[in-house]
Amino acid sequence: MAHDAHDPLKHPEVRLVNGRAYVAAFVAATVLMTAALGIAMHPGMIPHAMVGLSAVAALAVTIQILFLLQLDFSSTQIWTTVSFLLAFPLFVIAVGLSLWMFHSLDARTMLTALMH
């Protein structure tokens, strides 16, 4: 039963609340977003701008997963973590297959050129 007489504040997922981790995640996200903005505004700043942007994005996602969502393999979080990991194949399928289609679609339909 989800609904019992227990104190909701003692629920293990509620106990994960951690002010310091939230602040750390917020500060890190702000710094990384500023860095990303900088790279986007001045692409010549680093050698491979797209790689740099992707790396910053990946770092931001990792920090949010670890500090904000606190995903790990403890008994409280294992289902959430596994669900998160299982979403990856879907992400690869959805984005990958779309990219594959659009890769040749533009050349075949010539619509993109018309739309500009």
Binding site for another protein (CB under 8 A): 1-5, 8, 79, 87, 90, 93-94, 97-98, 100-102, 104-105, 108-109, 111-112, 115-116
Q: 81-112 burial, b for 16+ CB within 10 Å, e for fewer?
A: beeeeeeeeeeeeeeeeeeeeeeeeeeeeeee
Q: How far is the CB of 47 from another protein (least distance, A)?
A: 27
Count of C-beta atoms within a 10 Å radius of residue 55: 16
Cβ 115 to another protein, closest distance in Å? 5
The smaller minimum CB distance to another protein, of residues 51 and 94, is found at: 94
